[in-house]
Amino acid sequence: MRYDDFVPPTSRTGRRPVLAAVALAGVCLTVAGCGGGPLPGDPKGGTSRPPAPASPGTPSPRPSSPGTTGPSAASTSARPEPAARGPLTGRTVVIDPGHNPGNREHTREINRQVAIGNGRKECDTTGTATDAGYAEALFTLDVSRRLRTLLEEKGARVVLTQDDDRPFGPCVDERARIGNAAGADAVVSVHADGSATGNRGFHVILPAAVSEGGADTTKIVAPSRELGERIAGNFVRVTGSAPSNYIGGGTGLDTRDDLGGLNLSTVPKVFIECGNMRDPRDAALLTAASWRQKAALGIADGIGSYLKR
């Protein structure tokens, strides 16, 4: 089986779970490679975090974060042009680094309620952190920058919703609008979790069918699922991570209707929860630059597989 074309099945459609399908493909899954998912009952990781180290590769007064070398160090200015020719030439991908390193200094602004179609939610949250203080907002920026580099090398036009270039946010509704306005062929929101110790394994969050209050995901539910399945399969292949052991029933996939970034999107979009920052074994992966590069590659390969279908 060519893994580029592998679409992991899901239990929600009566197919075999990702874990079993990958095993059939001859891919070894290691417990040490697990990631994480969203904290149950929390729109994304909570509203408190310890002081954050600096955003990788971005001039800042904050102290530096662990292992910030390689593609993540790309400057927010003087961005190179995408490759003139490549398999993704002519495609637009929006990457949405979850949270913002400055959110913790703007709690009043990010606690403002915004409409998400079927209700209201906080504008944004601060995200979680490892017990040692490595912030989710820094992890998401690092992986997103690495992902941007990989996609641009394949010819894609890449837009980031934020690059540590604004004091806070953007709000979840604006994050959705950025992808919509770009006419993106795919949008991926990068996150990590703050769940309990022992909860491990990545998963991808898919949009549910929502049609109310200005939100209408009717046209993006199916393509978003395909995007999410391809990312999940390639994430397993590249990182060796297993699907979440506490979200998604072993499929590596979860469908939600309470996330404004998905509800308000009009283009295919998913979230990926790469690991649980509160689990020591996952934290060891998330703070390693070499693993973050694998995470970015797995996501990039999944996006590429989806866009080349």
**pLDDT, tens digit (0-9, with 9 covering 90-100), for 182-191:** 999 999 999 9
User: On the CB side of 272, how many CA atoms lie within 13 Å of its CA?
Assistant: 34
**Residue 295 pLDDT:** 98
Catalytic residue list = 273
Q: Which two tokens stand for residue 290?
A: 């070499």
CA distance 30 to 196: 20
**What fold does the segment set 3-35+86-307 form as a domain?**
Aminopeptidase (3.40.630)
Cα 27 to Cα 24, 35, 197, 200, 241, distances in angstroms:
7, 17, 26, 19, 11
Helix (H, G, I), strand (E, B) or coil at 86: coil
Q: What are the pLDDT digits (tens) for 110-130?
A: 999 999 999 999 999 999 999
Structure tokens, 218: 């009717």
Extents of the domains making up the chain: 3-35+86-307
Please identify every stretch of the chain with a pLDDT value under 70, giving residue numbers as ranges. Answer: 1-78
| Of the candidates 67, 52, 139, the residue with the CA atom closest to the CA atom of residue 102 | 52
pTM (2 d.p.): 0.79
